[in-house]
Amino acid sequence: MGKAAAVGTAVVVCAAVGVAVVVARRRRRREAELQGSAEADRKRRAAAVIEEVERSLSTPTALLRSIADAMVSEMERGLRGDIHSQLKMLISYVDNLPTGDEHGLYYALDLGGTNFRVLRVQLGGREKRVVKQQYEEVSIPPHLMVGSSMELFDFIAAALAKFVDTEGEDFHLPEGRQRELGFTFSFPVNQISISSGTLIKWTKGFSVNGTVGADVVSELSKAMERQGLDMKVTALVNDTVGTLAGGRYMDNDVVAAVILGTGTNAAYVEHANAIPKWTGLLPKSGNMVINTEWGSFKSDKLPLSEYDKAMDFESLNPGEQIYEKMISGMYLGEIVRRILLKLAHDASLFGDVVPPKLEQPFVLRTPDMSAMHHDSSHDLKILGAKLKDIVGVADTSLEVRYITRHICDLVAERGARLAAAGIYSILKKIGRDKVPSNGSKMPRTVIALDGGLYEHYKKFSSCVETTLTDLLGEEASSSVVAKLANDGSGIGAALLAASHSQYADVD
């Protein structure tokens, strides 16, 4: 009887264990099914976000052509002096670009941020070109960025005087002549001649008292006098105009300059008789360099996504610089961050918890974006390390890394294609966009490009060039060259000082 009970109990226990095993297996299967279903749902949600991003950032060639047409229209309005034009089309008063014949000693001062540069160059004419050049970079103490005009310009003039004192025997100033300077001033200026212009407003963290409305050349000249420095400012230029001058000196076929860096701008050579707002005698050269200030361009043709609109709304200048916010280095990384944040919220891209660091505006910079985009390793190791550093997620799957690189590709491609549309619009404006209908050969046309975004983000610059070729067509594009003009604005200002020298007629 006892043995039978024991056997019965064992049978019951075994049955219970069997049931438990079956239940556990079913639970695991159910959990696996649920997990698989949740993962499939996450992938569906991620795919839906990516598909919408692809759609909203799309730039088909037909759209780029219509954007270029809209930009040409705004350029024409700006040249007429229409106050409602999106493009300022500022007259630079530069009508003589360097020819290569310039010779002598010239200085340049480049002020456009928290550092400024002083440069000197000895020019040897067409044969020797740039015989020698030297430069120094100086940091501006923070308190001078918010001090008085006299304090700031005295500091700059003192640094310039110190630099002049180090002038070696390789640099020669003809006896009885005054040193001459080209002044690159990259702040909004109402220019009234080649060597004078009044400051409209300070930007880039500067808020100096007593300069707005004043002639910045006069402010610098008075400061140089106080330092006992005998030097004349013969050219006041914007950095893009300086890049154009530097580019033309190196290549006589340069017709335009484009900056693609933290910000963006373009300048080009226009026929003076195509500038209705120009008053007075036409320049002898028949040409005038126009500073487009194209970063302010906006049009309902531009493919603005929800990410662009949100970024613009939260910016310091909502509704302004729309084109710049879509193509320049200041903003590309931030657009990528906003898309990744959407994927984190809507599709748990980085897990169930949204990484707090990803919520921080501008935490992802464009150089980081470029490094991730250029990662060609099989496991995207560099990209994974960047995500760890920037987003704070230690382990990311290969799928997450590929998605991130795809987003970088979409944002960079749109920016590059829109930049190419801008360049194409300038070529259209000056009639260099197609082969002449009379059968004559299309003249060689060179665009000088400068800026860290174009120089260092190779996938971006490559896309700019291939898109421009696509817009121009095979035959016309064979005559158009995009050429890197690295650091063209510094030497460009010195060259413009030479081409607008007070001794030009004597020489």
**Is 186 one of the annotated active-site residues of the chain?**
yes
Active-site position among 92, 149, 186, 370: 186
pTM score above 0.85:
yes
Number of domains, the chain: 2
Q: What is the pLDDT of residue 14?
A: 47
What residue numbers bound the domain in which 266 lies? 60-90+252-485
Instruction: Specify the CATH number for the domain of residue 187.
Output: 3.30.420.40
- One domain, residues 79 and 193: no
Active-site position among 117, 248, 414, 432: 117
- One domain, residues 229 and 101: yes
- One domain, residues 271 and 157: no
- One domain, residues 300 and 410: yes
- One domain, residues 97 and 81: no
Please answer whether residues 181 and 233 qualify as being in contact, where contact means their C-beta atoms are separated by less than 8 angstroms.
yes
- One domain, residues 97 and 108: yes
- Residue ending a domain, among 191, 213, 237, is 237
- One domain, residues 258 and 206: no
29 falls within a domain: no
- One domain, residues 448 and 436: yes
> Which contacts (CB < 8 Å, 24+ apart) does range 376-383 have?
380/405
**Is 239 one of the annotated active-site residues of the chain?**
yes
**Is 28 one of the annotated active-site residues of the chain?**
no
Calculate the dihedral angle through the C-alpha atoms of 239, 245, 250, 253, rounding to the nearest 10 degrees.
120
- Residue ending a domain, among 188, 214, 237, is 237
Helix (H) or strand (E) holding 184: strand 179-185
- One domain, residues 284 and 355: yes
Tell me how far apart the alpha carbons of residues 332 and 264 are, in angstroms, rounded to a whole number. Answer: 12
Nearest-CA neighbor of 289 among 269, 273, 274, 275? Answer: 269
- One domain, residues 196 and 263: no
Tell me how far apart the alpha carbons of residues 240 and 459 are, in angstroms, rounded to a whole number. Answer: 23
Tell me how far apart the alpha carbons of residues 114 and 316 are, in angstroms, rounded to a whole number. Answer: 19
470 falls within a domain: yes
- One domain, residues 285 and 164: no
pLDDT along the chain (507 residues), means of 10: 53 50 56 62 92 97 98 97 93 90 91 88 83 89 93 96 90 88 90 92 86 95 96 94 93 95 94 92 90 94 97 90 94 97 94 93 95 95 94 91 97 98 98 88 94 95 97 94 82 91 74
Both tokens of 5, joined, read: 């009970």
Instruction: Specify the CATH number for the domain of residue 321.
Output: 3.40.367.20
- One domain, residues 319 and 453: yes
241 forms bridges with which residues in the sheet? none
Active-site position among 215, 239, 375, 450: 239
160 falls within a domain: yes
